Structure 1
């Protein structure tokens, strides 16, 4: 392999909440590393996915969906998303083909005016619209910003994803292989484990739960004797009523959350897992900086 010609770079995936950024990342990397939910604003930290080929290494950053913050956690998420734009080699601005151009998109395009980074427009969820509608969408966005490339895709079905990756590679600068070829994310296993548990809570609970939970991994130890990994995790909620919902009748919901999460964690770690889940109430944790820090949301890292 000619090292001089090797390309590598950082790519930010940005867009309004719920346009399919995490689904795209998981499709590209081929493993479940970003939390997926049909509820918006589920990604909080920068989740990096690493795609390595013989010619290039693309490091994808899945930012929190850009939206108007409502609390300190929201402010934090917005800062992360905005700072990312300046640090990367390429920006993928992802929009939902089913939704028209609105204030949210305008807000994001405004952020592009202050950066030199090339921007692709990625129109996702094309499997849900009639092909004729695509031309209207493309024309509407062309007027708003000089995108380097416009690529319609379906993350869910995989349509045109390879084409997008080929275009991405063209725009990457020459550079080293930052990560080993078999590494798909730079996040520690603890972080992904906590996200997998949080994802199951989101899938199995009603509307009032999502943004008021955090998952803290208290213990993650591999037993030398039988190679089983023992995971102890606490689900943090803001109100006692939420604790009741998550536990469920005679512990039934918590048991189901644990069962589903354990399967994903076993896939991630490639070994058997013993998972213990607890639920704890910490009132208004999203507005307390000390608790945000305790739960891993550290501004100084970004």
Structure 2
């Protein structure tokens, strides 16, 4: 008599869905998105309020596809732009499968964190993971205290954490673990994007963001909010041999006041050249082709407060 055949092992179901990282400005959300995706899909800066668009980064795994939605930092708005950015955050929360709340390890939980946590407590159906970021900046004692404080914050507000995980996007600590913890919270389903896609952000938008990131480097504190970049045209240079292509990129950097122009351009145009050189390197890496970058600085007076200007600049 033959032995009964073994029951085939049930294959692990494939999961796919959307996760978003929220938190106050400069909590490490964009850096975390880039670390999980494994390449630069969101611009980063030491300046708060850097992110203005929700950027989707796509993490491909054998068992899952995790689509990361990077959001602007939720903050007390002072301009029409600020109000619109906050609306973007809340709309995103309502549409994702899991929310990651980023709290930096090197900063005590403050009013801004509590404000966001209270709002998160209202989104009862969506699982929430507390992500303690920037662990490379603190010692083990400080980290332990922050983890306890995060746990306590959830208990105080009736906010149930699916997980609390400490990570460092800079040294890669526990980034893979974070992905492992997010995946089971996604619904079962087939991949949402083709294999190999890292973002669904249009190339022109990503190029504009890379230019803005370069323009943000080393400027005075008040300037980042005043900088917007629009890529007017991206066209292959005619008459180039097939093995030596060149892409012409024409872009405008918009500022709010004429007095800001000198800061961005610099003495004898030195700073603007550095912005062009720095951003061109990243653009060429993104697009995989040599680039000629034509940059111009223009004034769009008080654009952050003007609905018509905001529309023109893509907000």
CA distance in 2, matches of 1:113, 1:18: 22
- 3-state SS, counterpart of residue 94 of structure 2: helix
**Equivalent residue for 2:193, pick from 169, 179, 195:** 179
- 3-state SS, counterpart of residue 190 of structure 1: helix
Equivalent residue for 2:281?
263
Equivalent residue for 1:158?
172
- 2:63 equivalent to 1:45: no
Q: How far apart are residue 153 of structure 1 and its match?
A: 0.6
Q: How far apart are residue 113 of structure 1 and its match?
A: 1.9
CA displacement 1:92-151 (0-9 Å, x = unmatched):
001000111110111011111221100000001111111122222222222222211000
Q: Is the 8 A contact 2:25 2:72 kept in 1?
A: yes
Task: Say which one has the larger Rg.
Answer: 2
Matched ranges for 1:110-259 at <5 A: 110-115=118-123, 116-145=125-154, 146-223=160-237, 225-226=239-240, 227-259=245-277
Equivalent residue for 1:24?
32
TM-score w.r.t. structure 2 length? 0.91
CA distance in 1, matches of 2:84, 2:222: 21
**Equivalent residue for 1:289, pick from 299, 302, 307:** 307
- 3-state SS, counterpart of residue 217 of structure 2: helix
- 2:105 equivalent to 1:97: yes
CA distance in 2, matches of 1:179, 1:138: 35
Q: Is the 8 A contact 2:12 2:63 kept in 1?
A: no
Q: Which runs of 5+ in 2 are unaligned?
A: 1-9, 155-159
Q: How far apart are residue 224 of structure 1 and its match?
A: 5.4
Q: Is the 8 A contact 1:14 1:65 kept in 2?
A: yes
> Structure 1 stretches (4+) deviating beyond 6 angstroms?
none
CA distance in 1, matches of 2:57, 2:274: 28
- 3-state SS, counterpart of residue 283 of structure 2: helix
Q: 1:246 to 1:201 in 2, by over 3 A?
A: same
Q: How far apart are residue 158 of structure 1 and its match?
A: 0.4
- 3-state SS, counterpart of residue 158 of structure 1: coil
Equivalent residue for 2:4?
none
Q: Which runs of 5+ in 1 are unaligned?
A: 298-302
TM-score w.r.t. structure 1 length? 0.95
- 3-state SS, counterpart of residue 156 of structure 1: coil
CA distance in 2, matches of 1:3, 1:184: 26
CA distance in 1, matches of 2:13, 2:222: 51
Equivalent residue for 1:74?
82
**Equivalent residue for 2:290, pick from 248, 256, 272:** 272
CA distance in 2, matches of 1:31, 1:224: 31
CA distance in 1, matches of 2:192, 2:314: 24
CA distance in 2, matches of 1:26, 1:143: 29
Q: Is the 8 A contact 1:204 1:257 kept in 2?
A: no
Q: Is the 8 A contact 1:223 1:230 kept in 2?
A: yes
Q: Is the 8 A contact 1:125 1:156 kept in 2?
A: yes
